[in-house]
């Protein structure tokens, strides 16, 4: 990223989690992307992308499960241009409200993100708005990569994590993290890529050996709900330069992780983030070590706390009832 570029994101804290470290048996660091002004890591990539096209920017249109939209709305407001955010009907009302509070015009189209995206692409043409993709663009990945550069600075010289834990929706975060690992020379660090069952387009592609499109999104982790993973994320999974371990948790495990994280770390995140956290709380990390797929000892574990705004206590209660945890 250019040094003269105005930065919309914050340099987030890297926090050691005593509770998680005890569970995993090694130091766990939390990269607190939930503390970004838009509530998630998305602002890194979207801020960077919008900055690159600033001169020609008259207004933006973004299709989103919620958080890319929050980032686009925030950046647009700061740049003084209007934002239209297209969300699917599966996005909870609280997301619509929060987007409107950011000054965005919200349009609800279709059932899942892919439907909303088709409408955003149409609006970009007819309304002459700049289309902001939520996960599939090299500028987004370049922007997201700053999160790893910051971790390298926080950890200090000669320190690198033993593994990185992320959630995967459309794969933008994964591509950004890999870009960041390349930037700091940590390409040998394995990545654990987490999804929920029913929002598992990356896992399905890895299993099939090709990019495939899911019939539907049946998970409640709606912000992981892209039906097709971006090509770049799939290509990384096929490339022997990186170790990417693709794993799934149930919605119940993701929700339980959200609750445990709230109790232990006093931070509320949405289920999309809970999917990654569940890898720690469900014992998956140790299982992978047991299977020899992660090294023992691991060294430290870096958890990307991607955050998310699609949650409040009312929504948490609603999800609990729906999933009966």
Determine if 181 is a binding residue for ligand PLV (CB under 6 A): no
Determine if 180 is a binding residue for ligand PLV (CB under 6 A): no
Q: How far is the CB of 68 from ligand PLV (least distance, A)?
A: 3
Per CB under 6 A, which of residues 198..227 are in contact with ligand PLV? 223-226
Determine if 68 is a binding residue for ligand PLV (CB under 6 A): yes
Q: Report the distance separating Cα 220 and Cα 285, nearest Å.
A: 23
Q: Report the distance separating Cα 223 and Cα 92, nearest Å.
A: 11
Joined tokens for residue 173: 């975060």
CA dihedral for 250, 255, 256, 257, sign (positive or negative): positive
Determine if 268 is a binding residue for ligand PLV (CB under 6 A): no
Determine if 228 is a binding residue for ligand PLV (CB under 6 A): no
Q: Which of residues 150, 200, 251, 270 is near ligand PLV by CB under 6 A?
A: 270
Nearer to ligand PLV, 195 or 289 (CB): 195
Q: Which of residues 173, 284, 303, 305 is near ligand PLV by CB under 6 A?
A: 173
Q: How far is the CB of 306 from ligand PLV (least distance, A)?
A: 4
In sequence order, which ranges of the chain are alpha helices (DSSP H)? 18-24, 42-52, 67-79, 93-101, 113-126, 138-144, 146-155, 172-184, 201-208, 231-238, 251-265, 271-281, 284-290, 313-323
Q: How far is the CB of 52 from ligand PLV (least distance, A)?
A: 18
Determine if 167 is a binding residue for ligand PLV (CB under 6 A): yes
Determine if 92 is a binding residue for ligand PLV (CB under 6 A): no
| Contact assessment for residue 302 and residue 29, using Cβ atoms and an 8 Å cutoff | yes
Nearer to ligand PLV, 134 or 180 (CB): 134
Determine if 164 is a binding residue for ligand PLV (CB under 6 A): no
| Contact assessment for residue 69 and residue 39, using Cβ atoms and an 8 Å cutoff | no
Give the orientation angle of helix 231-238 with respect to helix 201-208, to 10 degrees. Answer: 50
Determine if 307 is a binding residue for ligand PLV (CB under 6 A): yes
Determine if 172 is a binding residue for ligand PLV (CB under 6 A): yes
Determine if 49 is a binding residue for ligand PLV (CB under 6 A): no
Per CB under 6 A, which of residues 95..114 are in contact with ligand PLV? 113
Per CB under 6 A, which of residues 127..156 are in contact with ligand PLV? 134-135
Determine if 308 is a binding residue for ligand PLV (CB under 6 A): yes
Angle at alpha carbon of residue 31, lines to 29 and 34, rounded to 5°? 135
Name the segment binding ligand PLV (CB under 6 A); options: 22-30, 53-61, 156-164, 165-173.
165-173
Joined tokens for residue 4: 């003269």
Determine if 169 is a binding residue for ligand PLV (CB under 6 A): yes
One-letter-per-residue 3-state SS of 37-105? CCCECHHHHHHHHHHHCHHHCCCEEEECCCHHHHHHHHHHHHHCCCEEEEECCCCCHHHHHHHHHCCCE
Q: How far is the CB of 156 from ligand PLV (least distance, A)?
A: 27
For 26, the 3-state DSSP assignment is coil
| Contact assessment for residue 65 and residue 98, using Cβ atoms and an 8 Å cutoff | no
Question: How long is the chain?
Answer: 325
Q: Which residues bind ligand PLV (CB under 6 A)?
A: 40, 42, 64-68, 113, 134-135, 167-174, 223-226, 270, 272-273, 306-308
């Amino acid at each position: 990223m250019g040094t003269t570029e105005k930065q919309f994101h914050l340099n987030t804290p890297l926090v050691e989690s005593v509770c998680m470290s005890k569970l995993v048996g090694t130091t766990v660091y939390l990269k607190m992307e939930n503390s970004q002004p838009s509530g998630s890591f998305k602002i890194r990539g979207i801020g960077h992308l919008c900055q690159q096209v600033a001169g020609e920017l008259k207004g933006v249109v973004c299709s989103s499960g919620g958080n890319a939209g929050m980032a686009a709305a925030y950046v647009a407001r700061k740049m003084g241009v209007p934002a239209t955010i297209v969300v699917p009907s599966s996005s909870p009302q609280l997301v619509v409200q929060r987007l409107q509070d950011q000054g965005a015009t919200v349009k609800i189209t279709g059932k899942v993100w892919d439907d909303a995206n088709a409408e955003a692409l149409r609006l970009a043409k007819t309304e002459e708005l700049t289309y902001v993709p939520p996960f599939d663009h090299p500028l987004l990945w370049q922007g997201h990569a700053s999160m790893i550069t910051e971790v390298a600075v926080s950890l200090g010289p000669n320190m690198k994590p033993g593994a990185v834990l992320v959630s995967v929706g459309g794969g933008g975060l994964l591509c950004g993290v890999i870009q960041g690992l390349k930037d700091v020379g940590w390409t040998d660090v394995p990545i654990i890529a987490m999804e929920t069952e029913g929002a598992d387009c990356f896992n399905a592609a890895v299993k099939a050996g090709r990019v495939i499109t899911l019939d539907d999104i049946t998970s409640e982790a709606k912000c992981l709900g892209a039906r097709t993973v971006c090509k770049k994320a799939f290509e990384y999974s096929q490339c022997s330069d990186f170790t990417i371990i693709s794993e799934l948790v149930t919605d119940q495990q993701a929700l339980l992780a959200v609750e445990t994280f709230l109790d232990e770390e006093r931070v509320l995140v949405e289920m999309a983030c809970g999917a990654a956290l569940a890898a720690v709380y469900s014992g998956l990390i140790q299982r992978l070590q047991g299977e020899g797929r992660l090294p023992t000892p691991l060294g430290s574990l870096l958890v990307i706390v991607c955050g998310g705004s699609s949650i409040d206590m009312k929504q948490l209660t609603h999800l609990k009832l729906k999933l009966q945890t």
